[in-house]
Amino acid sequence: MRLPFARRISPLLTALALSSTSAADVNVGGSSGPGGSAPLDVQVSVTITSACTLTTSNANFGTYAAADTTAKTAEATITVTCVSGTSYTYRFDAAATPGPEGDLAMIHENGVNTGYLNYEMTGYTFEDNGQAYSVNPYEEVTVTSNGQPFVQRRTFSIYTGQYNAPVGPYKDTHVVSITLLN
């Protein structure tokens, strides 16, 4: 009498399963008898990928009066925090609006481009792991993170005596970018 196919193949599959145990398999019982035990390790792993967070604060001058005798200043702070070992380039681009004489200029927000208010960048430093550095204001900087924030401060000043600028709000935009290298 011939056994059904399922009964013939079942002992073969059991034998194959027992002979192909992986490094994480342990058999308990059999010759170890009742109450036998065997230790088994469980590994936990992960691969960390490069990642950064970029935050900025705007430089806000508040109000401006052309008759002021001292320049108004405002500071913007840019902070880049990356996973330790992440390499990246950091760049602070020149303003979107060039002034009439090539200086930095905020444009009147009425959208008609009728007024400019000249300003300049008077200070720029960056701090990496508590160490302060002075850099070219528009130079691309390559950084390898140690997990601590990379902080850059930009100080801006508005020239005094700009009576030709119409009343109203003004703004300009600088672009900050980071490019991951790994």
Q: Write down how long the chain is.
A: 182
pTM exceeding 0.85 = no
Distance CA 59, CA 120 (A): 12
CA 114: distance to chain centroid? 37
Report how far apart, in Å, the C-alpha atoms of 182 and of each of 50, 53, 83 are. 7, 15, 11
Identity of the residue numbered 142: T
Give 7-29 pLDDT, tens digit per residue: 444 443 444 444 444 456 666 66
Q: What is the pLDDT of residue 125?
A: 78
For the chain, what are the domain ranges? 53-82+94-139+150-173
**Residues 108 and 116 sit within 8 Å (Cβ to Cβ):** yes
